[in-house]
Amino acid sequence: MSDELAIIGGPKAVTLEDDYVFSWPIITEEDEKAALEVLRAGTMSDTGITKLFEEEFADWQGSAYTLGFSSGTASLLGAMYGVGVGVGDEVIAPSVTYWAAVLPCLSLGATPVFADIQPDSLCIDPESFEEHISEHTKAVVVVHNYGHPADMDEIAEIAHAHDIAVIEDVSHAHGGLYKGRKLGTIGDVGAMSLMSRKSFPVGEGGILATDDREIYERAVAFGHYTRHGEDLERDELAQFGGLPFGGQKHRMHQISAAVGRVQLKHYDDRMAEIQEAMGYFWELLDDVSGISIHHPEHEDSTMGGWYSPKGLYDAEKLDGLSVERFAEAVTAEGSTCLPGCNYALHTHPLLQNADVYGHGKPTRIANAHRDVRESEGDLPVAEGIQEHCFTIPWFKRYEPEVIEQHADAYRKVVEHRHELLDTGGEPAAATRVND
Count of other CB atoms within 10 angstroms of residue 44: 15
Among 101, 110, 277, 403, binds ligand PLP (CB under 6 A): 101
Q: How far apart are CA 90 and CA 22, in angstroms?
A: 40
Q: How far apart are CA 192 and CA 190, in angstroms?
A: 7
Among 49, 143, 259, 321, binds ligand PLP (CB under 6 A): 143
169 sits near ligand PLP (criterion: CB under 6 A): yes
335 sits near ligand PLP (criterion: CB under 6 A): no
**CA-CA-CA-CA torsion for 267, 270, 272, 277, nearest 10 degrees?**
-150
CB 128 within 8 A of CB 96: no
Nearer to ligand PLP, 253 or 406 (CB): 253
Count of other CB atoms within 10 angstroms of residue 43: 17
338 sits near ligand PLP (criterion: CB under 6 A): no
72 sits near ligand PLP (criterion: CB under 6 A): yes
Nearer to ligand PLP, 69 or 282 (CB): 69
Nearer to ligand PLP, 21 or 103 (CB): 103
250 sits near ligand PLP (criterion: CB under 6 A): no
112 sits near ligand PLP (criterion: CB under 6 A): no
**Which secondary-structure segment (H or E) carries 39?**
helix 29-41
CB 84 within 8 A of CB 218: yes
Nearer to ligand PLP, 72 or 334 (CB): 72
Among 65, 98, 114, 129, binds ligand PLP (CB under 6 A): 98
Q: How far is the CB of 118 from ligand PLP (least distance, A)?
A: 16
Q: How far apart are CA 270 and CA 311, in angstroms?
A: 22
**Stretch near ligand PLP under the rule CB under 6 A, chosen from 47-55, 65-73, 122-130, 286-294:** 65-73
E strands of 257-397, at which residues? Answer: 291-293, 310-313, 338-339, 389-391
Query: One symbol per residue from 192 to 231: x for binding ligand PLP (CB under 6 A), - otherwise; what is it?
Result: -x-x----------x-------------------------
Q: How far is the CB of 155 from ligand PLP (least distance, A)?
A: 16
97 sits near ligand PLP (criterion: CB under 6 A): yes
**Stretch near ligand PLP under the rule CB under 6 A, chosen from 52-60, 68-76, 150-158, 159-167:** 68-76
Among 137, 171, 210, 263, binds ligand PLP (CB under 6 A): 171
Determine the distance from the C-alpha atom of residue 201 to the mean position of all C-alpha atoms in its chain, rounded to a whole number: 13
Nearer to ligand PLP, 66 or 331 (CB): 66
Buried b (16+ CB within 10 A) or exposed e, 174-209: bbbbbeeebbbbbbbbbbbbbbeebbbbbbbbbbbb
Q: Which residues contact 120 (CB under 8 A, 6 or more apart)?
A: 294, 312
Q: How far is the CB of 351 from ligand PLP (least distance, A)?
A: 16
Q: How far apart are CA 140 and CA 377, in angstroms?
A: 22
Q: How many amino acids of this chain bind ligand PLP (CB under 6 A)?
A: 16
Q: How far apart are CA 240 and CA 243, in angstroms?
A: 7
Q: How far is the CB of 143 from ligand PLP (least distance, A)?
A: 5
Q: Coil, helix or strand for 141?
A: strand
183 sits near ligand PLP (criterion: CB under 6 A): no
Give the binding site for ligand PLP (CB under 6 A): 71-73, 76, 97-98, 100-101, 143, 169, 171-172, 193, 195, 206, 435
